[in-house]
């Protein structure tokens, strides 16, 4: 278990560096991430490198007993590059070039930027790649941040056509895949195809989806330039990673994570409360809880948890938090001050969730520019801030943290996340506020309420070992996926498919067979009709299962009547009355379920309680919504994010968890 | 009475076509609209035409007993045109060219597009203009859709100057008409005049109004190119029409409809509920009813009715519904599934309202692109959807539908709609949410609640035969209109003028005489003062008429004291206290009323009940808001759009109309 | 005391001019402002001047006994200039050139526009500069209006670099001042620096702040061109002024006002209610009162008052209202009609607040263009409107108005307003709805509720003579300001500092010392921590002072523990519990207070009641929020803006002020 801090020595007088290093070490920190964003310090003029200051900084840190992670500085190209090569700057969907003065001001497809990247990364790797002080590399910073995932410049226009040629082989295939016969969109020459900027009326959704894929692939390719250089020039003990952004979804994180040694993410619970809550809670239904007052500075624990679980799922392996909030941030609407104990709680949460490293952002509040009101472990004036005080507490618990960290993270349940499906729903939701992540979250939060560890994995992940697999919206799911699901279920797994599964082909045209398309045989159902339901409209459900009552809202599909599956839940009112709402079908040693409506929180809880019981997965009853329970080996870690004590009922014992506190319970009760 | 369907054979394998044709015929359909949007199939390369596939399709349809309407495919120019001539693409008000990939991506003033239009339409007309299978032509599709009515490209810039020269003759006349002496806007050369793109501060409203007129005229001129070719090259039995969009108002539909044989429109009740409700119900007053739950899939019947009445009024003649919704749509916020019985009810509504043809959109749900989630009579997998089932019911009622269809549509009341007034109010509403259509709708909905047929007509329409004529906001009304109104009233008609009548000249500068300007002698009133009233502020009304109480809100004008008209309603509070609010004046055999305030629903109902009684127009008492009553000859058609039965009290009898059902009552009771 | 009217003779037939002049005089008016916006009449072609019409107009006005103020017409350059020199047109932040057809369509940094300005102003000054009929000049009109304060064109780009060079001397100094080491923003050449258009992510706040300063300075320099010419060419008895816009804050009004003889502003109470209410009342707290119904046409009197006080403070001297609303306006959301008595009340309000001239906008409602629905003293048809009737009443009170006008305006309290601080908060508020003006207004409205005259002054103003000085948010306050404050307090003044004082340096980077930075010694406090508080979150306050209870919300700072000041108010809950919330410290003969939280209305009232008592400033108890009390010499002017009578308790007597009426009370009770 490693604790560290993000540090920018270039922001401070050199005479301060030693003091900083000493204070870091004495606060129990092990590693320091530096050099991120330091391109203009490292290469003040083209091809003129200055590693002197960085060498001195690393030496001081090393002398203090700290190890170093180096960031490649490419997230912030220097002014001389923007000036000399304006075509390296990205262009937005309205055709406006975005200018120098912030960060991420480059196009991944710029040849010049790629060449400049090769040079600066090579220079750094040659200089530091064999040094023992350096334990690893973070490539760039937060790919896609600040709405930079998709560029619409002439470079991208050309590369998009090449990408399409590679992908489809022929124009005819592309015309078929995009259904361009509609509205006379047929292309007769590759040159006619543009990025989806601003069409008269909306653009072709297949074109948009492919542009999202192309853009994501462009960043993966750009990252690969750096990965290849670092692999080639650095000692193999130096890891290579990137810091992801949790629920951010403009890029295919599964593809980006693939070539890395492990994944990391930047966790800002109080900011994510603001930013992600609208993503996962629906604005137009009763699913959206009144915001609990406790969350204002600790964040919504289930949302934070989802960030951890998603990042762990990128490689189905332990991860790091490369930036851990340790005080107020500067980029939210309100940026509340953080109360004592919160940073310790967040740290415990990360470790319990499988983080093997936590790096606090940042050492000292920066005096300058865009982030000048963002906190650090130290105040602007170098006095300790609330995070520093928490860190001192935490360092006393390091033995227990290490013990937890060593335990395997095992999840009996996995949720499938496919960025292609997400984008397809985003491009054509058909119903306002459907939201791919929102639908996924309905199932996710129910599982956390049951105290069950959950993985969030790619459709290409290894499903073996999961007792229950949930695929909320496999919209573009094809026969390959259906086969993988079938094999999984065949071997004893329970599989739950959600609405809209198999509606489209991978290029986002509708299948011309009965729905759910490729999953029809798997689920043993045929969808006769599907309805988007506006707010206030619902179809009554009937079943014997606890919690599975009330009304189907938002989205409903009528299963049958030609089902081979059995009926678990039935519609009891509305035009689908009498038809199946949830089906159940034995398949090999397992079972396949199709949930034909978009459940609310209570319904999802009822359904999942039924399924996990069927799967033999133990649960914790009556967990309060502010309390998270995570299992690591023989330990159960209980975290209370509220301002009141909560009692958690574990088998044979009740455990009281104090406000904003953690309890680690050793037992084998869940086995 | 003709039933038909919109069909895109090019979207489906040729081997399927025969089955489709057979199924259409057996569902009771008579005609099929095809070829709309098929430009790139018809002319895959410049000047290379391929009519083979279309010939085969028409032959199969014909053999199945179906007649064909051909769409000219110009709404979706092919990719080769956009590539070869980027200047055919429209430019938005921010100067950004809109790109290929959707539809309507062309500027009506592009010389190249006009030439390409001539060629493709000529080719089609020569090929199909004499064939008996073809009964008519639909030109293009939904002119102005997708915010394409107004283009700001260099072509338009030049044409606008020519249009202005034609219109004003001299720069001096233009400077006078636009009042350019204000803010030093005087033009000294035509070249100085631009489209109203983005001025520093807002642009001159007279310039904007003329740009709206110019843009509308540009589309009329573009359409005329096609009308002329079709008239020249086709058999005169083939009709020529265009599909309008109901309450859409970026174009002057009266001008566009003039050269056509009849008007058609595209009726999507569930979508129009979303899109038009904010246009006709005010957001800031009690006029906006809580949305009735029944409306979620049937739409708001009064809004749908207004679309029918407006379209019928375009030529004061029977019309078609060229696209009739027959299941869920894809372009709304929620796109609810449609319940059984709804499509039949919509069809009855259209026929009762004077439609002599209904063409369902579309035959089979399309697999492709932008409209892939839009329904058809058949599902994507070719199985029957809810509309198909309804159609089978409807075909059993065809005798009665035909009988109704043969009856004349007679309206005792007409509402005057002038797009120039609408645009002028839109450009300078003076009071947020005044809304030209919203003000018109207040009167319109009151008439529908009284069970009275209403025409919505142009100010150039023939007013003879109407017992009551309502001109809600004749803002730009000049002496010509005043004279027409005077003649109408002279001969016995009742005329009601609403607020803001005669305030401006036709070029949108304020008249320098006492208000209501040109209408002063007609109405016999002089407006001393006019007040825009913010939300929550009102002036109490006093009168002996039922319903005409409460407060004048939104807008109030003080009539008098120099009126020659009598006082019908008086202000009883506020600064206008004691002055006239509604005046009444005998004129020849008729009467002229001026309503000096913007009435709410109840006040409008009270006023109109008084006026229709005076005019001797019979009414139906206590019609529920979900129930529509329409008279056709000796028939009264009653349509219940709700989920509950309603009793309608006709003279001497009560009729129960079941939920989502229609009752046709034969009687002469209203004569 | 001068009454006047804004007049546009060029809008009306010449034969009307004499009648207008006679009517003006008989309504009690003394002066007429003309020629504003008349550039294309004065110079219809480049370098061809026509003063004939203007001479005739001035002669007629003069013959009727009216004096004339001339507007330089540069706010609306003619079409020939825009055509011939498109680079004179401004460019918005998206790079789009704004076009001719409105007003203010020019860039202050355009060399061509500057030259054209010199020529037209010289021509006018030569022609009129010695005439006795002309009493003064208004330069241009409402600098910055219509979002034109900041231009982003190539001219500005170049000038910005020059401004920066002048300001910083070297690139190194600029890099330090902007903290460009952050995110690798270091500039290596001046040419790399651009206006902050659209960066990837947000731009550097120091760069933005300097662009705001540069833009403001550009207008000051542009105005100076005209000031210099008028000073050189005109009789020194002719005054030179400009009409400001009250709470408008895109320009540094203190700098713009400096070279003028006196300041004027354009007062539109009903419009400012709409536009400024969101600026000064917070949307997310209980501070925002329910809008009082009476305000709908009179405006919010405290907001109007603030406009007067701010304008008077620009030069700490009497001012004019150069445009006084006298009926409905046209640019608001609702534009209500104005009731009788309102214009008289507004006029009294202006005079009481220190206006030595009131010019009504406008003589007659214009028939033309953008302002065609704006009222005048006369209706469009030349009949008297409500303002004209009020003016007749007012002219009977001229003796008393004159008497009041002659009295000195003395304020015991001043509020410091610094546009640099305002912009810095605007650029990085850190907490949504913090708002510089909103924070200032909390203190301002409390003082008006106590019946105390207030000045709003620049940080460079003369503080001597004030008993209490309030600096709400001296964010960028440096040691120079701290020294001035110290001298003020030393000599007996009470000084109140609000939250965020001294947090930043003048170039907007955070100070690296303990907060409040430069003010630390002055206030005798050290801020241990500061918290932005989201809605619904507060820390309980404890104190013995009446009104100073409840919770600190929005923003809280923990003072101490290392304070040398005493504690006046303490935090009693939350993480700052036990720490100081408001400190008090004797300094020389005076005292310094630091209010460590953002008070609500009640708390501000409590704090200020305490402070004014301490300072020996008399107050009026229980003033109703709709009633304004202003002291002028021995007079107290009481103005009731509501529809109900209110009793005001003055020492020894109660005075009843009737609805929408004024009472002038002579007494020495407040001395």
Q: Provide ipTM, 2 decimals.
A: 0.96
Any chain C CB within 8 A of the CB of B178?
Answer: yes
Concerning whether A201 is annotated as a catalytic residue, the answer is: no
Q: Quick check: B537 contacting C, CB < 8 Å? A: yes
pLDDT confidence bin for B287, thresholds 50/70/90:
very low
- pLDDT (0 to 100) of residue C285: 47
Q: What is the pLDDT of residue B201?
A: 84
Question: Phi and psi dihedrals of A4, rounded to 5?
Answer: -150, -170
Q: Which residues of chain C have pLDDT under 50?
A: 285-288, 290, 669-671
Q: Is the pLDDT score of A96 beyond 90?
A: yes
Query: Which of A472, A471, A465 minimizes the C-alpha distance to A488?
Result: A465
CB pair distance less than 8 Å for C192 and A82: yes
Report which of B154, B152, B160 is spatially closest to residue B198, judged by C-alpha positions: B152
Contacts of A428 in chain B (CB under 8 A): 330, 372-373
Among the listed ranges B220-234, B585-599, C534-548, which one has the minimum average pLDDT value? C534-548
Q: Which domains does chain A have, with CATH numbers?
A: 413-615 (3.40.50.880), 627-670 (no CATH)
Burial per residue of A574-589, b for 16 or more beta-carbon CB atoms within 10 angstroms, e otherwise: bbbeebbbbbbbebee
Q: Chain B: give the shortest CA distance to residue A202, in Å.
A: 6
Q: Looking at the DSSP assignment, which residues form a beta bridge with residue A292?
A: none
Q: What is the pLDDT of residue A366?
A: 98
d(CA A41, CA A46) in angstroms, rounded, equals: 11
Is A323 marked active-site?
Answer: yes
Task: Take residue B161 and report the two structure tokens written for it.
Answer: 């100057």
Q: Is C191 in contact with A83 (Cβ distance < 8 A)? A: yes
| pLDDT (tens digit per residue) in A483-500 | 999 999 999 999 999 999
User: Is B157 in the C-facing interface, judged by CB distances under 8 Å?
Assistant: no
d(CA C132, CA C119): 22
All partners of chain B with 3 or more CB pairs under 8 angstroms: A, C
Q: Are strands A646-650 and A590-595 parallel, antiparallel or unpaired?
A: unpaired
Counting one residue from chain B and one from chain C, the pairs whose CB atoms sit within 8 A come to 182
Mean pLDDT of A488-515: 98
Q: Quick one: chain B helix, strand, coil %, rounded to 5?
A: 35, 20, 45
Q: What is the pLDDT of residues A1-41, one digit of tens each?
A: 999 999 999 999 999 999 999 999 999 999 999 999 999 99
B19 Cβ neighbours under 8 A, 6+ residues apart:
none
Angle at C275 between CA C274 and CA C279, to 5 degrees: 115
Does residue A292 carry a pLDDT above 80? no
Cβ separation of C98 and B533 shorter than 8 Å? no
Per-residue pLDDT at A287 exceeds 90: no
Question: Among C506, C510, C537, C594, which Cα is nearest to A375's?
Answer: C510
Per-residue pLDDT tens digits for C192-246: 999 999 877 899 999 999 999 999 999 999 999 999 999 999 999 999 999 999 9
Counting residues of chain B whose pLDDT is more than 90, the rounded percentage is 93
Predicted local confidence at residue B8, as pLDDT? 98
Place of tokens 């036990």: C578
Res B417 pLDDT > 80: yes
Please tell me if residue C134 touches chain B, with a CB cutoff of 8 Å.
Answer: no
Closest CA to C531 of C503, C553, C510, C512: C553
C191 touches chain A (CB under 8 A): yes
The predicted-structure confidence for A149-158, as pLDDT tens digits, reads as follows: 999 999 999 9
Catalytic residues of C: 142, 323
Contact B372 A509 (CB under 8 A): yes
Q: How far apart are CA C264 and CA C314, in angstroms?
A: 10
| Chain A contact for C135 (CB, 8 A cutoff) | no
Tokens of C81: 């200039």
Q: Is the peptide bond before C446 cis (omega within 30 degrees of 0)?
A: no
Chains contacting C (3 or more CB pairs within 8 Å): A, B
* pLDDT tens string A167-199: 999 999 999 999 999 999 999 999 999 999 987
Question: Does residue A532 sit at the B interface (CB-CB below 8 Å)?
Answer: yes
Q: Does residue B211 surpass a pLDDT of 50?
A: yes
- Provide the token pair at C427: 């650029």
Q: State the pLDDT at residue C660.
A: 95
- Measured between CB atoms, does B575 come within 8 Å of chain C? yes
Look at residue B139 in the predicted model and tell me its pLDDT. 98
Q: What is the pLDDT of residue A414?
A: 98
Radius of gyration of chain C (CA): 26
Kindly state the tokens that stand for A80.
């001389």
* Residue A401, phi-psi category: left (phi > 0), alpha (psi -120 to 50), beta (remainder): alpha
Task: Say which of A37, A83, A330 has its CB closest to residue C192.
Answer: A83
> How far is the alpha carbon of C173 from chain A, nearest alpha carbon, in Å?
14
Is the pLDDT score of A322 beyond 90? yes
Mean pLDDT for the stretch of residues B62-83: 98
How far apart are the C-alpha atoms of B267 and B507, rounded to whole Å? 34
Contact C351, C343 (CB under 8 A): no
Taking residues B44-50, what's their average pLDDT? Answer: 97
Cβ pair A182, B11 in contact under 8 A: yes
Catalytically annotated residue among A142, A300, A584, A625: A142
Instruction: With CB atoms and an 8 Å threshold, state whether B202 touches C371.
Output: no
The overall average pLDDT reported for chain A is 95
According to the 3-state scheme, what is the secondary structure of A542-589?
A: ECCCCCCCCEEEEEEEEECCCCCCEEEEEECCCCCCCCEEEEEEEECC
Q: Across the interface, do C38 and B188 touch by the CB < 8 Å criterion?
A: no
- State the Cα–Cα distance between residues C66 and C28, nearest whole angstrom: 10
Chain A 92-111, residues with CB within 8 Å of chain B CB atoms: 94-95
CA–CA dist C9, A460 (Å, integer): 79
Place of tokens 């002398």: A63
- Tens of pLDDT along A515-572? 999 999 999 999 999 999 998 899 999 998 888 999 999 999 999 998 999 999 999 9
Which residue in C201, C515, C561 has the most chain A C-beta atoms within 10 A of its own C-beta, making it the best mutation to test that interface?
A: C201
pLDDT score for A201? 84
Look-up of token digits 């609208």: A278
pLDDT tens per residue, range B534-572: 988 999 999 988 889 999 999 999 999 989 999 999 999
Percent of chain B with pLDDT over 70: 98
Whether chain A has a CB inside 8 Å of the CB on B331: the answer is no
pLDDT recorded at residue B222: 98
CA distance C31 to C25: 9
How confident is the model at residue B284, as a pLDDT? 56
Q: Looking at chain B from residue 200 to 239, which residues have their Cβ under 8 Å from any Cβ of chain C?
A: 200-207
User: What does the pLDDT read at residue C291?
Assistant: 59
pLDDT at B288 over 60: no
A521 with A562: CB under 8 angstroms? no
Tell me, yes or no, if the pTM score tops 0.80.
yes
Tell me the helices (H) and strands (E) count for chain A, helix number first: 20, 25
């Amino acid at each position: 278990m490693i604790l560290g801090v993000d540090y920018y020595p270039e922001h401070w007088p050199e005479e301060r560096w030693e003091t900083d290093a000493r204070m870091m070490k004495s606060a129990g920190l092990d590693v320091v991430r530096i050099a991120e964003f330091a391109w203009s310090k490292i290469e003040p003029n083209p091809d003129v490198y200055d590693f002197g200051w960085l060498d001195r900084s690393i030496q001081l840190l090393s002398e203090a007993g700290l190890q170093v992670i180096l960031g490649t500085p490419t997230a912030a190209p220097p002014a001389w590059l923007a000036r000399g090569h304006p075509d390296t700057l990205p262009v937005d969907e309205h055709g406006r070039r975005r200018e120098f003065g912030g960060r991420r001001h480059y196009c991944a497809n710029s040849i010049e930027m790629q060449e400049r990247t090769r040079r600066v990364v090579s220079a750094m790797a040659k200089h530091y790649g064999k040094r023992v002080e350096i334990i690893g590399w973070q490539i760039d910073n937060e790919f896609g941040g600040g709405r930079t995932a998709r560029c619409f410049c002439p470079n991208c226009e050309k590369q998009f056509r090449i990408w399409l040629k590679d992908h489809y082989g022929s124009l005819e295939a592309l015309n078929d895949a995009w259904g361009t016969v509609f509205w006379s969109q047929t292309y007769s020459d590759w040159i006619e195809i543009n990025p989806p900027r601003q069409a008269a009326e909306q653009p072709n959704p297949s074109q948009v989806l492919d542009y999202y894929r192309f853009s994501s692939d462009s960043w993966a390719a750009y990252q690969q330039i750096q990965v290849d250089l670092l692999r080639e020039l650095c000692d193999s003990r130096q890891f290579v990673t990137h810091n992801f952004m949790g629920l951010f979804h403009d890029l295919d994180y599964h593809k980006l994570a693939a070539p890395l040694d492990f994944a990391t993410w930047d966790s800002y619970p109080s900011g994510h409360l603001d930013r992600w809550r609208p993503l996962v809670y629906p604005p137009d239904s009763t699913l959206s809880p009144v915001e609990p007052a406790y969350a204002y500075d600790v964040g919504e624990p289930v949302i934070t948890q989802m960030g951890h679980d998603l990042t762990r799922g990128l490689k189905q392996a332990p991860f790091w938090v490369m930036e851990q909030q340790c005080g107020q941030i500067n980029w939210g609407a309100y940026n509340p001050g953080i109360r004592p104990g919160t940073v310790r709680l967040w740290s415990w949460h990360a470790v319990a969730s499988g983080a093997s490293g936590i790096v606090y952002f940042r050492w000292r509040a920066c005096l300058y520019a865009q982030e000048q009101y963002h906190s650090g472990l130290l105040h602007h004036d170098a006095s300790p801030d609330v995070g520093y005080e928490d860190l001192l507490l935490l360092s006393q618990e390091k033995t227990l943290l290490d013990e937890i960290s060593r335990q395997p993270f095992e999840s009996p349940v996995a949720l499938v996340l496919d960025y292609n499906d997400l984008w397809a729903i985003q491009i054509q939701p058909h119903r306002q506020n459907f939201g791919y992540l929102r639908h996924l979250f309905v199932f996710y939060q129910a599982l956390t309420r049951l105290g069950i560890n959950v993985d969030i994995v790619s459709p290409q992940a290894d499903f073996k070992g999961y007792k229950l697999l949930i695929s909320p919206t496999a919209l573009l799911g094809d026969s390959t996926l259906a086969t993988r699901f079938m094999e999984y279920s065949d071997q004893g797994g329970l599989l739950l498919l959600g609405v809209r599964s198999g509606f489209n082909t991978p290029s986002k045209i509708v299948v011309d067979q009965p729905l759910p398309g490729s999953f029809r045989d798997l689920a043993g159902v045929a969808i006769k009709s599907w309805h988007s339901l506006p707010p206030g409209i619902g179809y009554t459900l009937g079943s014997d299962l606890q919690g599975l009552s009330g009304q189907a809202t938002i989205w409903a599909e009528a299963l049958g009547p030609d089902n081979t599956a059995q009926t678990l839940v039935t519609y009891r009112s509305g035009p689908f009355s009498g038809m199946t709402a949830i089906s159940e079908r034995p398949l090999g040693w397992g079972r396949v379920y199709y949930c034909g409506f978009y459940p609310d929180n209570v319904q999802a809880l009822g359904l999942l309680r039924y399924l996990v019981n069927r799967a033999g997965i133990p649960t914790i009853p009556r967990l309060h919504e502010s309390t998270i329970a995570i299992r690591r080996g023989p330990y159960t870690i209980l975290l209370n994010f509220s301002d009141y004590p909560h009692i958690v009922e574990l088998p044979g014992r009740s455990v009281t968890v104090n406000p904003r506190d953690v309890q680690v319970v050793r037992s084998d009760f869940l086995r």
